[in-house]
Amino acid sequence: MKRNLRIFIALAVFYIIVALFALILLGGKSSVFNRDRKSYGAKPAALTQTVIGESAEVAEPAATEPTGDVTDVTTTVQEPEPAEPEPEQAEPEPAEPAPEPEPEPEPEPEVFEIRYFSFRTTNTQPDLRFRTGPSEDASVITKLFPGTGGYITEPGNEWCKVVSNSGREGYLSTRYLAVTELTEETFPADFIDMVEAPTEELTAPQFTTLLKDGSETEPAEGDALTEPSAAEDATADTETAAQ
C-alpha cells in the first residue's frame, strides 16, 4: 500500500513538472503560437497572381507594417527628378552695320573760257630758259633774249605754254612775260588751234594788269635770273644764231 502511494506521488510530481515545462514553452516567444512575420525563421507568404493571356509572374511580397517589438526601419531612396533642360539662349542677332555716309559729290571742275594772249620776254640778260615742261627740272631747249615775242597757247599763273614766232613750242616762267590780250580775230590763224583754256583762275599780275599799248613791264624785284655760266653763254650764242 505504501509502495503504490509513493509511485502515485512520483507520477503526479512528474506530470506537474511536465505540465509546467509545457506551459513555459508555450508561453515563450519561441513558441510556434507566438511567432509572427518578423520572428526568427519566419518567411513571408508568397502571393501569386494569375494573368489571363500572359505568363504568370510571381508577385513580389507585399510590404507589411512591422508588428510586435521588432522595428523595421526602411530607408526610402528618392530618385532625383530629372532636371528640366535650360532654355536655349537665343543667339544675339548681329548688329546691323551703320549705314555708310554717302560720299559728298565732288565739285565739278570749274571751266574757264579760252583767252588769247601774246607775250614778250622781260628778262634783262639773254638767259631766259625756254624749257620742255612746266618745271625748273625740265630740260632747257634754248635761252631767249630780252624782248623775244610769241603767243601763249596755255596760260598759267606760274608757267605758260607758248609758241614762238618761228613755231617752236615750250614753257616759260610767267613772271618774265609781258602779256597782251588779243581777240580771236587778231590771233594768228596758224596757232589758233593750239590754244587751250586755262586750268586755273588767272590771278598773276601779268593777267590782271594787261598791256594795252604794248609797253614792257619790268620784272618784280628779285625775279632776275642769275648770271649764266660760260658754258651756258656759249650754248645760248650758238642756239640764238641758229634761231
Which CATH number is 163's domain given? Answer: 2.30.30.40
Q: Which residue has the higher pLDDT, 83 or 45?
A: 83
Element (H, E) at 179: strand 177-182
What is the average per-residue pLDDT within 74-78?
58
The pLDDT of residue 241 is: 34
Strand order in the sheet with 159-164: 140-144, 128-131, 169-173, 159-164, 149-154, 116-121, 177-182
Closest by CA position to 170, among listed 199, 198, 202, 135: 135
Q: What is the mean pLDDT of residues 3-26?
A: 82
The residue-averaged pLDDT of 134-145 equals 93
Number of domains forming the structure of the chain: 1
Q: Is residue 181 part of a domain?
A: yes
Query: 83 in a domain, yes or no?
Result: no
Query: Domain limits at 187?
Result: 116-213+232-238
pTM, to two decimals: 0.46
Task: Please give the DSSP secondary-structure letter assigned to residue 54.
Answer: S
Mean pLDDT of all residues belonging to the chain: 73
In this structure, is residue 23 part of a structural domain? no
Average of per-residue pLDDT across 186-191: 93
Identify the top-confidence range among 53-62, 74-83, 120-129: 120-129
